[in-house]
């Protein structure tokens, strides 16, 4: 029981760790200050980990890797396609 709670808390924390950076990237309209290699490795790692863990139906890990995939995808979008300044 406690180990499940710890897993959900850890998975939740890991799932939201990139949200502040993602919001900052969206607000600024670019991801110039973030390493491209970091973003690519984060995306690949999240994607492959999600494929690996999905058959186990481990909720905390599925949420964790899904959120990481979403946030890294958003930041990669802004890395390659900056918002035009008006």
pTM: 0.84
* Cβ count within 10 A of residue 30: 15
Question: pLDDT digit string (tens) for 13-65?
Answer: 877 888 999 999 999 999 999 999 999 999 999 999 999 998 998 888 888 89
Q: Where are the domains of the chain?
A: 34-81
Concatenating the DSSP letter of every residue in 9-34 gives HHHHHHHHTTHHHHHHHHHHT--TTS
- How many CB atoms lie under 10 A from the CB of residue 10? 13
């Amino acid at each position: 029981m406690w180990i499940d709670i710890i897993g959900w808390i850890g998975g939740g924390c890991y799932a939201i760790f990139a949200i502040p950076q993602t919001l900052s990237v969206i607000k600024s309209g670019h991801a110039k200050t973030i390493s491209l290699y970091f973003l690519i490795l984060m995306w690949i790692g999240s994607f492959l980990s999600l494929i690996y863990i999905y058959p186990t139906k481990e909720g905390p890990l599925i949420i964790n890797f899904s959120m990481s995939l979403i946030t890294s995808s958003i930041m990669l979008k802004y890395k390659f396609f900056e918002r035009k300044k008006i």
